[in-house]
Chains A and B, each alone.
Chain A
Amino acid sequence: MSDAGLKAVFLAEQPMLLRLLVARLGNRADAEDALQDMWLKLDQTAPASAAQPVAQPAAYLYRMAANLAADRRIAATRAGVRDTAWLDVQPSAAEQPTTERALLGRERLARIEAALAAMPPRMSAALRLYRVEGMPQKDIAEQLGMTVSGVEKLLRRGAKEIHLHKIADEAESANQHRLSGEGKSHRGT
């Protein structure tokens, strides 16, 4: 797939890519911004993509969009800022919300840490090999002496335990969150 080909696929898939980004980011402006970023990245990395032909260009672009969206969501929770050109045009007194969001990020980390500590060592090991080391599931199966589908099950259950751990912890403050629209309000109004 030549670079021009990849761009042609981008143009053809653009409406669907935008829908993916809107669904992930919760608003159209950020989604359009991210789409623009994608286009620029395709531009900048032209030589690299020419050297490494892309087998499934559409899937490649969707994955790229999904990764970009994930990065933006992380940045948003971490810094409490919106990923637009002029961010908080605000007096310095308004540091409070940022600190609060930084705390939310820290809470998330604490919950994940607690969940990892509570789960069977094999499960956290599989998560670490897959997520931190980026090891393919096949190799993890090899290392842990189990089947690939066993590894997949382990990863799935690991993700769920982390999610549930979080929900259990959040239970008492859930109503408050919903009322204030804080934390999970990125879907916009």
Chain B
Amino acid sequence: MAHDAADIVDRAIDWHLRQATMDEAEWHTFVAWLEADPAHAQAFDAVALDVSMLAEHPELYPAPATPVARQPRFPQKPAPSSRRVWAWVGSGAAVAAAASLTLMLMLVPTGLTGGNASYAVETKPGQRRDIALIDGTRIELNGATRLLLDRSNPRVATLESGEATFHVRHDPRDPFTVHSGRLTVQDLGTVFNVARDGARLDVQVAEGSVLFQPKRDAVTLHAGAAITAREDLGHIAVTKIDVAKVGLWRERAVSFLGEPFGRVSTAVQRIDGATLFIDPGLSQRPFTGMVRLSGKVAQDVPHLAALVGAEWHHDGERWVISPR
């Protein structure tokens, strides 16, 4: 029995290693093997999960005592590894990394001049952008977003509108600060998401912590905390959030926790780049759950309407969801 299990694991590892080079017939055999026994599928799943973790968590590896990676004898090719070629198929991480690299090259040369060097980075509705600052901070911009940066001070950003996820390179002597309206967020070693929606500002922390309103309330928000501030009402609420749901827009998803359904139209604008009008009768209805957008409004609006049992139509520029 134990012997069988070990054999199955060997087979699973074997199949997994060979995936990069398998031809059509081998894939068919693989599917048949997976289907043959739930234990096969389970072993393969465990192996695949392990391997994904191995790929995604470089910090798990022990630091080599002696440098293992000797200088190669030949000048290194800019090897387009098989993993990278296929990256678009899977998570957007590799693609995002590539995008940030390109942008860094664009930003750095012009960033060294100093002076009054404020500049705006903008995305159109439905567009996404990934920027890397010289200090190592990475910012992912959702659609319909405008962010002001400063060439002479890479440690400050102003979110004028829209939404962004910040991956801050922490420096205790020089904290990274995000302004938005009259509100300020300061990093304490962090990945966090900031979203502006009119007078409403949402800050959600995925890793580390941030200081909200450092010069006034100085509320420390740790990973898993979310704050909603209403500048018009002077109201601030701190709630909890699943860290996996911070910056969910990057997966084209929106999460609701008893919030008005109408907020989905902001997501549709940012992600699909389309104007969605939600009938007032529906827009205030509280919703809990998560909705995933496809990036294509013609697909998402009917889907959203169906979820709330409503009707939809499209007139010219505008998409409308209204009660049935």
Binding site for B on A (CB under 8 A): 13, 16, 19-20, 23-24, 26, 40-41, 44-45, 48, 56, 58-59, 62-64, 66-68, 70-71, 73-75, 77-81, 83-92, 95, 98, 102, 108-109, 112-113, 116-117, 121-122, 124-125, 127-129, 131-136, 139, 142-144, 152, 155-156, 159-160, 162-164, 166, 184, 186-187
Query: Which chain B residue lies CB-closest to A37?
Result: B294
Query: Which chain B residue lies CB-closest to A160?
Result: B13
Query: Which chain A residue lies CB-closest to B62?
Result: A117
Interface segment out of the listed B42-50, B152-160, B209-217: B42-50
User: Given the known A-B contacts A88-B289, A134-B84, are A26 and B89 also in contact in the complex, defined by CB atoms under 8 Å?
Assistant: no
Whether B69 sits at the interface, judged by CB under 8 Å, is yes
Contact status B60-A113, CB under 8 Å:
yes
Interface segment out of the listed B23-31, B133-141, B167-175, B186-194: B23-31
Contact status A156-B17, CB under 8 Å:
yes
Contact status A95-B240, CB under 8 Å:
yes
Enumerate 9 A-B pairs (CB-CB under 8 Å) in ascending A order: A20-B30, A63-B19, A87-B289, A116-B61, A131-B54, A139-B72, A162-B50, A184-B45, A184-B46
* A-side contacts of B10, CB under 8 Å: 160
Contact status A163-B13, CB under 8 Å:
yes
Assembly CA distance A85 to B62 (angstroms): 39
Interface of B is mostly: helix
Assembly CA distance A26 to B38 (angstroms): 9
User: Given the known A-B contacts A23-B41, A92-B257, are A112 and B54 also in contact in the complex, defined by CB atoms under 8 Å?
Assistant: yes
Q: Which of B287-301 contact A (CB under 8 A)?
A: 288-292, 294-296
* B-side contacts of A91, CB under 8 Å: 288
Whether B57 sits at the interface, judged by CB under 8 Å, is yes
Pick from B14, B42, B54, B242: contact of A156, CB under 8 Å: B14
Q: Which of B8-24 contact A (CB under 8 A)?
A: 9-10, 13-14, 16-17, 19-20, 22-24
Binding site for A on B (CB under 8 A): 9-10, 13-14, 16-17, 19-20, 22-24, 27-28, 30-31, 34-35, 38, 41-42, 44-58, 60-62, 64-65, 68-70, 72-73, 79, 81-84, 86, 88-91, 240, 242-245, 251, 257-258, 288-292, 294-296, 303, 307
* A-side contacts of B257, CB under 8 Å: 92
Interface centre among A71, A81, A91, A163 (most CB of B within 10 A): A163
* A-side contacts of B22, CB under 8 Å: 59, 62-63
Assembly CA distance A8 to B88 (angstroms): 21
Assembly CA distance A80 to B245 (angstroms): 11
Contact status B88-A63, CB under 8 Å:
no
What 20 additional pairs, Cβ within 8 angstroms, besides A131-B54, A155-B17? A58-B23, A59-B27, A63-B19, A70-B48, A73-B52, A74-B52, A81-B290, A85-B291, A85-B292, A88-B289, A92-B258, A128-B61, A134-B79, A152-B17, A159-B16, A163-B47, A163-B50, A184-B45, A184-B46, A187-B38
Contact status A159-B294, CB under 8 Å:
no
User: Given the known A-B contacts A20-B27, A136-B79, are A184 and B42 also in contact in the complex, defined by CB atoms under 8 Å?
Assistant: yes
Interface of A is mostly: helix
Contact status B91-A71, CB under 8 Å:
yes
Assembly CA distance A45 to B48 (angstroms): 26
Assembly CA distance A117 to B289 (angstroms): 40
Pick from B53, B88, B290, B294: contact of A87, CB under 8 Å: B290
| CB of B6 to closest CB in A, whole Å | 9
Assembly CA distance A73 to B52 (angstroms): 10
Contact status A74-B49, CB under 8 Å:
yes
Assembly CA distance A163 to B53 (angstroms): 12
Pick from B42, B47, B89, B292: contact of A41, CB under 8 Å: B89
Contact status B60-A136, CB under 8 Å:
no
Contact status A24-B64, CB under 8 Å:
no
* A-side contacts of B55, CB under 8 Å: 131-132
* B-side contacts of A40, CB under 8 Å: 294, 296
User: Given the known A-B contacts A70-B48, A79-B245, A92-B288, are A56 and B24 also in contact in the complex, defined by CB atoms under 8 Å?
Assistant: yes
Assembly CA distance A132 to B79 (angstroms): 14
* B-side contacts of A102, CB under 8 Å: 242-244
